[in-house]
Amino acid sequence: MPKLASADDGQLRRRQRWPWWPLLPLYPYGRRRTLVRELVPDQVWAFEQVQGVWYVAVPIRMTVLRVRAGLVLYAPVAPTTEVLEALAALERRYGPVCTIVLPSASGLEHKLPVPAMARAYPTATVWVTAHQWSFPLPLPLPWLGFPAGRTRVLLQDGVPHGDELDWCPLGPLDLGLGTFLEIACLHRSTGSLLVTDALVAISAEPPPVMALDPTPMLFHARERGDEPMEDSPERRRRGWLRLVLFANYLRPGPLTIPPLKEVLGQALAPGCRSPQSHFGLYPFRWQPGWQAQAEALTGSALGADPVPQVAAVLERLVFVRARGALVQWLQELARLKGVKQLIPAHYSAPVPISAEQLRMMALELEHRNWAPSQGSWSLLAAIDGSLLALGLVPGDERAAKH
């Protein structure tokens, strides 16, 4: 019954509508599909959406923690009707949303949903990191929609649920253009360690949330613009790994840009004449070796747990001269009692992790070749080089600390 299906789809679209998308115009713009997963029964839940640029869309996650007073929302995602309905179901069983946490000073994608989420829960306290900044003008938090009477600054004004949650800051680091600060949170009762952007774990298989809208994977699974966007598990996997390379390196090494004439020549081919396939415009050619590089980023074979790591783009552009602060933070996380699993705000979660693993990561970071400039890292290195030359970022490790 096509008519009924279309009505259902219209209703679903309304429940997934995100009207504030023009503030940060990322794919999928005004429609945010959400996957809700229970990560620890009756204790921890993930609310996952995808977002990105030019179909380089990767998962973004809000983690919901159960505490004695109710529910804590860590790194909110866009609060669509679908999200609020799922939260209402949790509230009925576990108590009210009492705390909303913005754990990052610089991650715009995490900051923008917070005012709308705060309006949805007028009795919740909103906790934010210090050093919040806005662009192009440095506006005070109430002007950005953060509720004046119930917004607190993490660590400066205390911490929420201090007897159930540990809070551990990375930073502040002076990036010149702004400040990097993120605050990890350990949910003691489950050993769940929540981080925002500093650590990721990338599975070789597409994460489940990507299946809600496979378009980005199918777009990048192609070799040429005139190749239709056909669907298969193998193509989804290929597209996912290419997305991962783009998201980490911006311009991965095993990729060339074909001449414009060739790109235009393949446009508007049969099966590619839709906005969804960008009318057949696909200005990429993947070279041999791309798969090995992508698999190295996942750090694991298919089916195994992905390996926690520092995202390349952050290593080269944010932590490039702040390796010491990152090592120190990992050592502090390793000293927290009872860490069992890592839940970052992007890519895969949960991923098993132990204090010993965190200590080993710190040691490894201290001694390995840091923030290289060759191969896939070259565009990131060039961006950093330009910012340095313009004097927009501080030049040595000491300058990166306040």
Q: Which residues bind Fe ion (CB under 5 A)?
A: 107, 197
Nearer residue to Fe ion within complex by CB, 199 or 330: 199
Q: Least Å distance between CB 108 and Fe ion? A: 8
DSSP state of 41: T
* Nearest to Fe ion of 197, 315 (CB atom): 197
> Of 69, 97, 47, which Cα lies nearest the Cα of 162?
69
The answer to whether residues 185 and 194 touch, using CB atoms and an 8 Å cutoff, is: yes
Closer to Fe ion at the Cβ: 52 or 107? Answer: 107
DSSP 212: G
> CB of 290: closest distance to Fe ion in angstroms?
24
CB of 106 vs Fe ion, minimal distance in Å:
9
Q: What angle, rounded to 10 degrees, do the helices at 323-335 and 355-367 form?
A: 160
- The structure tokens listed for 189 are 């009762």
CB of 379 vs Fe ion, minimal distance in Å: 20
Nearer residue to Fe ion within complex by CB, 107 or 207: 107
- Give the Cα separation of 230 and 221 in Å (integer): 9
Question: How far is 172 from 45, CA to CA, in rounded Å?
Answer: 28
Distance in Å, CB of 203 to Fe ion, minimum: 17
Torsion of CA 217, 218, 219, 221, to 10 degrees: 90
Nearest residue (CB) to Fe ion, 67 versus 199: 199
Q: Which is nearer to Fe ion, 112 or 333 (CB)?
A: 112
**What H or E segment, with its residue span, contains residue 359?**
helix 355-367
**Residue 187: enclosing H or E segment and its boundaries?**
strand 179-187
Amino acid type, 147: P
Min dist. Cβ of residue 103 to Fe ion (A) = 10
Among candidate residues 333, 313, 61, the one with its CA nearest the CA of residue 170: 333
Nearer to Fe ion, 76 or 254 (CB): 76
- Tokens 């414009």 locate to 260
Nearer residue to Fe ion within complex by CB, 166 or 197:
197
Report DSSP state, residue 149: G
In whole angstroms, how close is the CB of 42 to Fe ion at the nearest point?
A: 27
For the bound state, the minimum distance from the C-beta of residue 268 to Fe ion, rounded and expressed in Å, comes to: 36
Contacts of 197 (CB under 8 A, 6+ apart): 104, 107, 182, 311, 314, 344, 345, 346
